[in-house]
A and B are shown apart, each in its own frame.
Chain A
Amino acid sequence: DAKTTQPNSMESNEEEPVHLPCNHSTISGTDYIHWYRQLPSQGPEYVIHGLTSNVNNRMASLAIAEDRKSSTLILHRATLRDAAVYYCILRLNNQGGKLIFGQGTELSVKP
């Protein structure tokens, strides 16, 4: 299975931007890059996904490297409610869209 590598934890200050990195050097050309987050005591929540171009939505932005071997999730202004575990996942096209979660990055936000 294609693997992603993320830092175990990151810290941010409230109202500052946060850049969460992810490496996925084994990505194949048709795999989508997905990001989810899990708040304490809740189920995972979809954040954003993309294939080649950068993507923006109301929650975050996704910057994808030109060679697609890495990506960065950008939270433009962190709030205390953004404290969660963030998962970067490859959705494997040659395996019917398989979605495997790794360990993720635990983001803490300081007031």
Chain B
Amino acid sequence: DAGVIQSPRHEVTEMGQEVTLRCKPISGHNSLFWYRQTMMRGLELLIYFNNNVPIDDSGMPEDRFSAKMPNASFSTLKIQPSEPRDSAVYFCASSLIQGAAFFGQGTRLTVV
């Protein structure tokens, strides 16, 4: 298995634009997590899904952020409209419920 695949690896966008981050989890895994990492706040859990159903989105900072998991092999995190303070590295991770979580390489987002 290629592991958790995130795209794009880097994204530079202008303030106000829509940004979509994508994640392909490891085949067979039934939990998926989205995290954001900054120097100030560390690794923050944004939202997680079990069996494609959102379980807890209390970490999503604002209504500008939304996440979907239409099937077991794909998830998106969308920011609309983007702001400079959204600049961070966004990680996706997948696992079996209660099992080891495996992380993607991350998407480095810069909003100018």
Interface residues of A (CB under 8 A from B): 32, 34, 36, 42-46, 49, 87, 91, 93, 95-103
Complex CA–CA separation, A43 to B68 (angstroms): 22
| Given A43-B103, A43-B104, A46-B101, residue A95 in contact with residue B42 (CB < 8 A) | no
Interface extent on B, as a size class? 20 to 34
| Given A96-B56, A101-B42, A103-B42, residue A91 in contact with residue B103 (CB < 8 A) | no
Query: Which partner residue on chain B sits nearest A96 by CB separation?
Result: B55
Q: Decide if A99 touches B101 in the complex (CB within 8 Å).
A: yes
Listed A/B pairs (10) with beta-carbon separation below 8 Å: A46-B100, A49-B100, A95-B56, A96-B48, A98-B48, A99-B45, A99-B95, A99-B101, A101-B35, A101-B42
Interface residues of B (CB under 8 A from A): 31, 33, 35, 42-43, 45, 48, 50, 55-56, 91, 93, 95, 97-106
Q: Decide if A34 touches B56 in the complex (CB within 8 Å).
A: no
| Given A96-B56, A101-B42, residue A43 in contact with residue B91 (CB < 8 A) | yes
Chain A residues within an 8 Å CB radius of B35: 101
Chain A residues within an 8 Å CB radius of B95: 97, 99
